[in-house]
Amino acid sequence: MINPDLPLIDLHRHLDGNIRAETIWELAQQNNITLPVKQFEQFIPHVQIIESEPDLLAFLKKLDWGVNVLSSLDDCKRIAFENVEDVFTAGIHYAELRFSPYYMSMAYKLPIADVVAAVIDGVNEGMKKYPVKIKLIGILSRTFGVEQCQQELNGLLAHKDKLIGIDLAGDEYNYPGELFTEHFKQVSDAGLHVTVHAGEAAGPASVWQAINDLKAERIGHGVKSYQDEALLEYMHKHNIAIESCLTSNYQTGTISDLSKHPITTFLKHGLRVCLNTDDPAVEGIELKGEFELARSLLGFTDTEITLLQENAIAAAFMSESERKTLRQSVLNNLNKG
């Protein structure tokens, strides 16, 4: 059981990887988009992982239908609002939702900057209705190449005051971080935080590069980091957090045996590792279930569960005053209950 005295936080949660199957189905009908099947029940395997996929790219294909039905800015706004509702329903107090505006715009060639604005509007409307705190992280989708990532970054930086950070995600193996150093110099100049998907499809060298060249403060997944003792020591010394996602790492084929997930190694080395969902709608999971998995499969104790929650608070892209306010609001609500 999670510690009720502490906020439940999800720092690695893809907004465009959490589009409800029902919403995809409805938007397809509304926008006259042909789907591969006639019945909704038959559609689920197309947008949700049923078993572990052979690799990361096969996993990512499950996300495609969700963005392929976004034919308007209103559609983008809708899914952003629903993401906030899902965070609230999941009992999460604070989430950093990340999204790739180019990925969301590509099917219907929507203006990238306008997609960013639509997501911001949807999230703000969601926060007016639901008592949760949301911050947004823009993604550069490396899968589409260097030039397209620059266009994506331009669209994100047009709204930089409404974002908390920038992430690099997608095909890590074929599009290494070295290709994007100039992009992240611009991110640094803009004063935004940096988190990078690394050590998922590639090895420790990818994590080193993200830290040294892209100035990553947090590493998404970072699974292969355990292979380099010096890297673990460096991350511990410099408080570089790992956003760990158990079910996702199994479903992408990154981990073949979840009972041997290196999150246990990260904790033993004192790393600031926290537990997250990744793409909850695609995976068919939620954050509380990931904590239950950590307890039942990895044998985590109450103390370790609490530590994961504390690490998430410490790793969140927020000020000390915001951390204090978040902690206090959880305690106040607990006392009211």
Per-residue confidence in pLDDT tens, the chain, 337 aa: 899 999 999 999 999 999 999 999 999 999 999 888 889 988 888 888 877 677 767 777 778 989 999 999 999 999 999 999 999 999 999 999 999 999 999 999 999 999 999 999 999 999 999 999 999 999 999 999 999 999 999 999 999 999 999 999 999 999 999 999 999 999 999 999 999 999 999 999 999 999 999 999 999 999 999 999 999 999 999 999 999 999 999 999 899 999 999 999 999 999 999 999 999 999 999 999 999 999 999 999 999 999 999 999 999 999 999 999 999 999 998 888 6
Interacting residues of 202 by C-beta distance below 8 A, sequence separation 6+: 172, 173, 176, 224
Q: Which residues are catalytic, by number?
A: 200
- What are φ and ψ of residue 240, in 5° steps? -90, 115
Burial per residue of 11-24, b for 16 or more beta-carbon CB atoms within 10 angstroms, e otherwise? bbbbbbbbbbbebb
* Torsion 76-77-78-84 (CA) sign: positive
Domain 9-336 top-level CATH class: alpha beta
**Direct distance between the N- and C-terminal alpha carbons of the chain, in angstroms, rounded to an integer:** 18
Rg of the chain over CA atoms, in angstroms?
19
Tell me the whole-structure pTM to 2 decimals: 0.96
- Residue 184 sits at the vertex; the CA angle it makes with 183 and 185, to the nearest 5 degrees, is 95
Nearest to 187 by CA among 235, 226, 152, 221: 152
Backbone angles phi, psi at 135, to 5 degrees: -125, 155
| Sheet strand arrangement including 273-275 | 9-14, 94-99, 133-141, 165-169, 193-198, 218-221, 241-244, 273-275
